[in-house]
Amino acid sequence: MAAHYVVRSVDRADTDTITALRRAGVASAHEAAGRIGLLGPAVRARQTGAVIAGSAITVSCHPGDNLMIHAAVEVCRPGDVLVVTTTSPSTDGMFGDLLATSLRAHGVIGLVSDAGVRDIAALREMGFPVWSRAVHAQGTVKASPGSVNVPVVAAGQLVRPGDIVIADDDGVLVLPVAAGRQVARAAAERLANEADKRARLESGALGVDMYNLRPLLAELGVEYVDRLPADGA
The answer to whether the annotation marks 116 as part of a ligand binding site is: no
The answer to whether the annotation marks 16 as part of a ligand binding site is: no
The answer to whether the annotation marks 14 as part of a ligand binding site is: no
The answer to whether the annotation marks 119 as part of a ligand binding site is: yes
CA dihedral (97, 98, 99, 100) in degrees, to 10, reads: 40
The answer to whether the annotation marks 98 as part of a ligand binding site is: yes
The answer to whether the annotation marks 175 as part of a ligand binding site is: no
Binding residues: 96-99, 118-119
Binding residues for Mg(2+): 119
Binding residues for substrate: 96-99, 118
